[in-house]
Structure 1
Amino acid sequence: IPREQWGGDQVKPREAPSYGDVQLAFVHHTVSANDYAPEDSAGIVLAMAKYHRDTNGWNDLGYNFVVDKYGQVFEGRAGGVDQPVIGAQAQGYNSHSTGIANIGDYSGVQQTPAALDAMAKLIAWKLPLHGAPVEGEVTITSAGGDLNRYKSGTPVRFQRISGHRDGDSTACPGDALYAQLPELRRRTAAIAPAVAAAAVRLTMAPLEAEAVRYGEDVRVGGALVRSDGGAVAGQRVLVQKQGRSGSWTTVARAQTDGDGAWTAAVAWKAAGKLRARAAVPGAAVAVTAPVALGMLPVLAAAAKTTRVRAGRSAVVRGTVRPVAPVRVLVEREVRPGRFQRVGVVTVKPKRSAFSAKVKLSKPGLYRLTPTTGSSAKAAKAAALFVRAVRPGRPLQPAGPDGGASATPAPSTGGVSPG
């Protein structure tokens, strides 16, 4: 039963869905009343979705699917029932699982045969769709969390069909339903198709650089072919980026052409990993190996003036993207073409603009070099030259026409800061 039929359009997700992979299914119960009619179920799902989003502050309904005791199956979290949508249903394992909630409290009451059959059919479709078998065990690395039974980084072995309590500190899905999981596994295995072999191969060409400037487009592309070498045309390819939590979010979409080739552009504003993903009907989901790409900050700066009185400050203004502290390296010329470090002035920008006051204590020519970012991925603006003039002397020297002239940059002005 799609979202629009239970009122999902009234509970818009806070953000676009994130995608991971599906290696197992977690079974839950909602710990709510069991005496409901079939026509009540849609309203129960809607109320639960509103509670998860508005009270818990989650992005959307936590479960990927919801099943009632009559065997009705409801679409849960938005993003596509055929997609590996990351829910909020099994802390520490959401990126690698799908979650199925049973309406009711099954601590002391067993779930109905109709509901078990509905779950079996759902899991027998969902897991093989993502290349996972319905039988046996799988090892998932815990991402931790205050509700998790295992510390972050711990390898945990699960049945392909597990109860919520197997991974987190909870009684869910209730003792009675948990005792029915072996029967659910049996029913699922009896109807599940064999997992498709890797019948397609998805490639992503190597990136042209290890890092790109902030805001620039990253061009990615590759090909999607069958095991016999034939092209897969007209297939959607998702370009995904990994977030800090480890989940994958779609950042661009492409479609393969007649030769199976695909291309996409991603506006790059933070370092991370990219991968491509394609779900081809009748074949296992194809995913490329992640590729890391760095981000180079963009920094521009200018000095308000080229001459100041010694003992006063030169003002350096500019912009930096992304917003990050800017360090101005201050150097004073000790002999023609050679500068000696005097100090560093650090300033925090407001939004993307910054203004740094640099005190020039002694007379002489100073080189001011704004930088930002880590040493490995730093950005450096062009060096600025400002002369500090002794008190009592003209601030601007007389030019050939009697006017003022700016201090020229020395020929060695391009020397890197020492």
Structure 2
Amino acid sequence: MKKLDTQFPDFQAELKALLAFETAQNPEIDRIVADICADVQKRGDAALIEYTNRFDGTSAQTIDDLILTQDDLQSAFERLPENIQIALKTAARRVESYHKHQKMESWTYEDEDGTLLGQQITPLDRVGIYVPGGKAAYPSSVIMNAMPAHVAGVKEIIMVVPTPKGERNDIVLAAAFVAGVTKVFTVGGAQAVAALAYGTESVPQVDKITGPGNAFVAAAKRRVFGVVGIDMVAGPSEILVIADGTTPADWVAMDLFSQAEHDEIAQAILIGTSQAYLDEVQTAMNRLIETMPRRAIIEASLGNRGAMILAKDLDEACEIANYISPEHLELSVENPQEWAKKIRHAGAIFMGRYTSESLGDYCAGPNHVLPTSRTARFSSPLGTYDFQKRSSLIQVSEQGVQKLGKTASVLAHGESLTAHARAAEFRLKDNP
């Protein structure tokens, strides 16, 4: 891991270089994705079957071969060992409970002249959730994407998940059953995103697509945005740990590993206020790496984008954290709630030495779909509010229009929009 010190004159430049990640779209990927999306939009199910067989190595003959029903999901759940069933239900229950607190409600109020104003909250009709397949199975992603939609009141939740070589993962399908997914299509890639966005003979068009995927999925989500809504285009996984030296070094080392093991471009950063403690964590990492099944990925990740930063105090550490705006921020310090007040930009804040980031990934309750690549400066975690819409309510009274109509008339004439002005003036008692 790189070693940085805030007291060195080139610290800011080094930090900026550390955080740099090439987010520019790959023209070749964009071209391929554009062709796939256009083909699915034109040929529907036939194109979807063709691309799924080509890219996932399946042998589907009809679209029915790629559809799973509620009975299929329930059967997958029932095939699992009891301890996994309990874990899925526990995680889903906690995520549901947390997201109920986020649910927006409609409201109204009346002006003194009887004019009613307000906001009406309604859920989206139908959403699509993309769940990655391939290298690993992510039942947690199913719960984190589907449960807030369920809490919001979305009537149809359509899940797409690739099944390379036709292998279906029971834990992923069981998570869909527990989280209330309506229907599952065993398709992935840009073709799945296109099917959700445009609709096919069998895949219903959705209003919004959420969930992470590879570069082709990300490019497809960018392309269809506007036809449907999307949650975000996620970058590599990130963790930033601020440690005051009171947490066992082994714990912090494993927390850094927990993000580094995702892939070679994930980022793990530790900020400490003691060089001796940073050295202690490094020693722990050197020892614990021997026990990691994904050692090669962890070492590549830490070597490519990992760092240890020596700060003069926790105030400076928090300011650095605000600049980094990490996806996951662990405050492994005494009095973490007080230090959390100094954090302005982070996807999720994990407070105290007992709160590992991995608890948030699976079962604490808050969503693990979080802004990456410094986008926490202006965006938020996926939540119930992402599956709800707001409509403004306006009911002007006869008394109220006498004042509002004149104001609107003046402003409309100022914009040379005569019909706008006359529409307001017609409702005035003294209209000539």
After TM superposition, is the score higher than 0.5? Answer: no
Higher-Rg structure is 1
Q: Compare the two structures and name the one with the higher strand fraction.
A: 1
TM-score range, shorter chain: under 0.3
Q: Compare the two structures and name the one with the higher helix fraction.
A: 2
